[in-house]
Amino acid sequence: MMPGRVFPFSMEKDEKDRYLTGKMIELTQYHRDHCSAYRKMTDALGCDLRRITHYSQLPYLPVSLFKDLRLSSLEEGEDDFKTVTSSGTSGQRRSQIILDARTRTDQQTALARIGSDFLGTRRMPYLVIDCPATVGKRDHFSARTSGILGFSIFGAHRTFALNDDMCLNKDALHDFLEKYGRQPFLVFGFTFMVWKYFCQELEAEGMRPDMRRAVLVHGGGWKKLADQAVSKEAFAAGLGRVCGISRVIDYYGMAEQTGSIFFECECGHLHCSDYSGILFRRPEDFSVCGPGEEGIIEVLSTLPRSYPGHILLTEDQGRLLGIDDCPCGRAGAYFEVSGRIEHAELRGCSDTYEDRS
């Protein structure tokens, strides 16, 4: 397949509801046939696929389940797969996600199409706010490794801004900006890393590099920054002050669900692509929230085939802002994430580097 230039934000509500409901029923059946643990769980939840009329009626797994169980829907005898571990510091349990070749390839195609819609199809010089060691370990794929490698398809001349001890690599940064700083370039990193090991370091060192042409893409959660009372606005203002970055794109996504990556548009709204679905549920009875009402986020993806992660209840909360009518012109649902639900385990991608200071 030569993936063409498909616009991944084209389905309007009625078409999307029909499409996603059909896909989710098919995937639920597929995983029931291929994963006995999933079949038992969905049996216990009383799942009768013949009676489903909308994807919101389908059973969802809590995302934390992947920390306890290694769920696989691989064909018998299939040994060609990779295991991706989610974030979590050493004291925390990590999710384990099994990805076969097809699911990995589909994921990259989806990321390329979705990301190109925000970043353009031309690749830009790529500055990573992380250290080379993060991608050095081939046997162990953390969420950070996957993020840096995944976003490599949007970049060229990849350069790491940090040394392996997490201090700023001033020479690398200087050389990169010298060579590419006068054209648009891509900066990628996990939210906490960008703040603590880049923005605050530059500030402490009194460095003011000119990064006005940069597009910063970051994700991985606000939990740790919220603890330090750093708001989204303070984050953007800090970057603007220290290095002149004005274009900041936040994204929402998780290792546990391939294919679901939600980028923030020019209007500051996170967008759901044709590959995904999003729902918000009331914590008291798990019924579906109305528009604008805050609830627990459920994510759906058409891609996971090697493990039953197509419908997951996250530990985050947020609210639906609208469907099909964002001023940016993209069809589909758009939403905001407001934080973690109470009592959820502390977690977030960029938390994986333990603070040793």
List residues binding another protein (CB under 8 A): 1-5, 80, 82, 101, 104-105, 108-109, 112-113, 115-116, 119, 121-123, 135, 138, 149-150, 152-154, 156, 158
Q: CB of 214: closest distance to another protein in angstroms?
A: 18
Task: Tell me how far apart the alpha carbons of residues 175 and 127 are, in angstroms, rounded to a whole number.
Answer: 11
Q: Are 151 and 142 in contact (CB under 8 A)?
A: no
For the CB of residue 131, give the shortest distance to another protein in the complex, in Å.
16
Quick one: 13 or 157, whose CB is closer to another protein? 157
Residue 238 vs residues 88, 195, 214: alpha-carbon distances, Å: 26, 8, 15
Question: Is the Cβ of residue 172 or residue 346 nearer to another protein in the bound state?
Answer: 172
Q: How far is the CB of 306 from another protein (least distance, A)?
A: 12
C-alpha–C-alpha distance, residues 100 and 104, integer Å: 6
CB of 84 to another protein, least distance (A): 11
Cβ 193 vs Cβ 130: under 8 Å: yes
**What are the residue ranges of helices labelled H in 120-231?**
133-136, 143-151, 170-180, 191-193, 200-205, 223-227
CB 349 within 8 A of CB 143: yes
Q: Find the shortest distance in angstroms from Cβ 115 to another protein.
A: 7
Find the length of the chain: 357
Strands (E), 90-203: 96-100, 124-128, 155-160, 185-190
CB closer to another protein, 154 vs 251: 154
Task: Output the CA–CA distances (angstroms, integers) from residue 155 to 185, 220, 226, 322, in the order listed.
Answer: 8, 19, 30, 32
Nearest approach, Cβ of residue 2 and another protein (Å): 5
CB of 126 to another protein, least distance (A): 10
Residue closer to another protein, measured from CB, 119 or 127: 119
Pairing outcome for strands 247-253 and 261-263:
antiparallel
Nearest Cα neighbor of 87 from 168, 167, 17, 192 is 192
